[in-house]
Chains A and B, each alone.
Chain A
Amino acid sequence: MFMLGCDKMTYKINMPEFEGPLDLLLHLIKQSDINIFDISIGKITKQYLDYIKKMEELNLNIASEYLVMAAELIEMKSITLLPNQVNNDNDEYEEDPREQLINRLLEYQYYKDISNVFKNYESERNTMFTKQPSDLEEYVKEDSENNNQIDLNELLEAFSKFLERKELDKPLNTKITTKEFSVAVRSNEIKEIIKNKKKVEFTELFDMYTKDYVVVTFLSILELAKKQDLKIVQDNNFYKIYLVAKGSE
C-alpha cells in the first residue's frame, strides 16, 4: 500500500484509490483476510485509524467523510467497552453497532460488485462498433417548383406581403421612462405650498410613497430649512411636526 523509497527524501507512494470510507474499510478487511461477518470493531478501528494517520503523514488531504467514519468507529468501539447496561424495563431494541456496520459494508460491497459487472458489460458493449448517422444533407431536394415561371407581378406581390409580415414583426413603439425627482423642483413646490398654506403638517408633504419621492422631499425640506425659507416646529416630543413659512408665526 505505502512503499517508502530508500532515499528518505523521496516518497514512492503507491496507494489504491478509494471511493470512500466504506471502500477503504472493505479494502482493510480484505487485506487482513477476514470475512466481513467476523470483523472485530477494535481491530478494524485500529487499522482504519492507522491508515488515516499514514495519509496525514503523507500530507494527503483527507476527505471529511473519512473522518466521520473514524469518529463513528471510535464511538462504536467505546460503546463495546462500556459495561452492558441491563435494560429490563425498557425493551427498546437497539441494533448492535457492529451488526449495523456489517450491514452497511455488505450493502456497499453488493453495489461494488454490481459496478464490476457493469464495467464488464460496458467494455463488452464497446466491442460492438457502429457508425455516425449518415449525412443526408446532399440529397435534400431543392424546392424547384415553378422554376423560371415567376413573373414580376407575382414577385412584387410576394415582396409586399413579406413587407407586411415584416411590419408585424417590429416591436411596438413604447416609451419607457422613469420619473425623476429633483430637489430643486421639489423645493420650489414645497415653497409654493407653504406660501399658500402658511402652515403645513410635515407628513402631508409625503403624498406619494415611492422611495425617490420621499427622499427628495425630505432633502428638500432640510434644504429649505437650511436656507431659512421655512421653519420646522415641534411643540413637544412626539408631537406633530409642522413646517411654517418664514416670518409668519
Chain B
Amino acid sequence: MNLVGVLEGILFLVGDEGLTLEKVKEILDIDDEQLNNILNKLREEYGKENHGISIEIFGDNLKLVTKKQYKEYYEKLVEYEKNGTLSQASLETLAIIAYNEPVTRNFVEEIRGVDSSHIIRKLLFRDLIKEIGRSDLPGRPILYGTTTLFLDCLGLSSIDQLPKIEKNQTEDREVDLYESKYKE
C-alpha cells in the first residue's frame, strides 16, 4: 500500500473543504515526519508538467487545486470574479489586522480614520477574522485576529508569509512586492 496514493484520493474527495494536517495524520495514522515524506512525494509528482493539479497548504489546511500556469484553460470552464471579492475597505481592514493582530476595533479605526464597526462585522461574518480574546484596556475591548480562511483567500500557508514591508519608504513599493512573491 502506498500512502501517497491514499492521501491523493482523500484530498480529491474533500475538494474545496480541504483537510487539516492534523486530520490527515489521524486518518493515515502517521507522524509528522511520515506526513512530510508523503507530502514531498506528492508535491514532486504534481510538480511534473503532465499534471494539472497541485497540492497547496493554506493555513494548516491541505487542498488539491488546479495549477496556476494552466489557468487560461481552466478559466474557459468557469465564470468567476477575477478581481476578487474583497472590497477596498475589507482589504484595508484585513491588512491592518493581519499585520498587527491581535488588535481592537479602535486600533483599526485610528489608522483608517473612519468608523469600522460595520466592516469588522462583515469580516467576522465571512469568517475572515475572528475574536481571539479581550484586551486589558479600559472596557476590555474585543481583540480580533485573522483566520485560516483569510490565509486561504490570499493563497498563503501561514501568517509569516505576509510580505515584509518597510514603512515610510515611498514609490514603487507595490510592484516590487508583487514580484517578490514569485521569487520565493
Contacts and interface: CB of A to CB of B under 8 A. Distances in A.
Contacts of B66: 128-130
A132 B15 contact: yes
B154 A130 contact: no
Interface in A107-130: 107-108, 110-130
Interface in B127-177: 152-156, 163, 165, 167-168, 170, 173-174, 177
B29 interface: no
A116 B81 CA distance: 17
B115 interface: yes
A65 to B, nearest CB: 5
Contacts of A117: 163, 165, 174, 177-178
Interface string A84-111: 0000000000000000000010111011
Most buried by A among B17, B94, B113, B154: B113
B111 A111 contact: yes
B113 A22 contact: yes
Contacts of A118: 86, 91, 94-95, 154
B16 interface: yes
A129 B65 CA distance: 5
Contacts of A132: 15-16
A21 B88 contact: no
Nearest to A109: B170
Nearest to A68: B113
B17 to A, nearest CB: 5
B167 A110 contact: yes
B113 A104 contact: yes
Given A108-B112, A127-B75, A134-B13, A35 B89 contact: no
Nearest to B80: A126
A128 B68 contact: yes
Given A119-B84, A125-B152, A126-B80, A114 B165 contact: yes
Contact of A123 (B56, B82, B165): B82
B13 A136 contact: yes
28 contacts: A17-B88, A19-B92, A20-B114, A22-B112, A63-B114, A110-B167, A112-B92, A113-B165, A113-B177, A115-B91, A118-B91, A118-B95, A119-B83, A121-B156, A122-B153, A123-B82, A123-B83, A124-B155, A126-B84, A127-B75, A128-B71, A129-B66, A130-B63, A131-B15, A132-B15, A134-B12, A134-B14, A134-B15
